Structure 1
């Protein structure tokens, strides 16, 4: 086949890598020559991609705060989350693929299939504008921290990214200048830190109406309560690859294969909208209810908030696995 992929992020690069390794002709169309989009660089430790990634840190401990008040903390026996070198992983998949610095194939009719993997950049849905900083500090703790605000819809995060370094970010739907909020947060919470990198990017928190031949975040595959999109994007690339090499329709196949993931994203969207419409006092009640429940926290950390996922977390808790 001859395939054009619009966008070379997680899903687009992985799909291109798989197709190229199978002897197909692939071109990536992206406005940047290398991948640099920032995020938390976190994946739940439940998925192995077909092209392996480097793990920079393993996270076992988590703390949850609301308006600066610690509500709950939890530790797991085994790593719950992995911090990966996402940029290196994606660029290693792109380096052998022909790449054009544009987002549109000049003559799409030359290709058997054109796949849309532009992340949030069609901008045809609700997004949250996030800013992420990498800092180095002598005062280091191995706990991943979520700090929610009852004033805005979103959260600050503090994720250990490697020994002595943190990936710290902010994103709130009602406040677009997340850079300003993040810089103030750093001043209030850290002393004597060194800022290594800071940059921002939009993240989808709503599903697009049009999903045809879309994969990854372009299809809306981001969990809106956590912002995690690496794993569902990679899974969508795998499923799209399998459909293409079998001569199946990509859109129809993804509707079927991603039903569980998209169902969980829909549930999170409903919860997010309920949180947005609630008064600040009720928001605090909602967050405290979630954060004091072991099973719900486990389901939140693995983005499996539905009956099946909650039952799985309950089974793990009863078996003593965490």
Structure 2
């Protein structure tokens, strides 16, 4: 009797998995009309144009004479000293995976009010670690789209020889081993026009002016967003950095940086890819906050929501016996 119930249960799971897979494939194959390729007015494009901003600190030679497998681009602010230290001691540390070159860079703007003490400290950090890019746009939540486009431009200009790049927030736990293994498992098609993460496929503009993600009809009149990946973390083939930068000439800037990247992808006709395992049941880019459990974290590429102290504590435990899970 028990065997019969087990068989039925497995059968139901298999059917559910097939249905999930069919839905995902059907969605990915859905063709929606491309946005018209009409350049945005110059005064609007200048808001996100790389030519508008200047480098305060840069690392233009970081990718010279080497072809990194992965470049981690981490947006944060001038005051996030603890976060930078924690990342250097955890998933951003050099030589984490033998024979795999992974670089990390912190991308920073400047505060609305200057802070000479913190700025001097940042300059010293840059000289010591060689991992800081700073530009003269104002760091703010509404300027995250500007920061993201500066990331794309930096990769397209200074690191075209890399395989993949990852935009990842500073409060994320990154399972570097799993990510590298996952990318190695992908077909050769992941080397071009490839972007993956936690895909959001059913989002609509929020018209509540008190909401954090509010966007007015004047700024974005359409009633739906094209598929995009959560801005917490996503991975893309390096060729997309140049293409997204180009597409930005045809997309009016909006303050929602992940949606904006999705709009650029829509212009390019590129669809983000779900990063899942077991017929779509497990999302590898977990943007929810999860209670730490080593073997649960070992089965995800990212998990969201950690302060620097917790990140260091969890990382040390995770590294001790990751491969036993």
TM-score (norm 2): 0.25
TM-score (norm 1): 0.25
Larger Rg: 2
Higher helix share: 2
Comparing both chains, which one has the higher relative contact order based on Cα–Cα distances under 8 Å and sequence gaps of 6 or more?
2
Higher strand share: 1
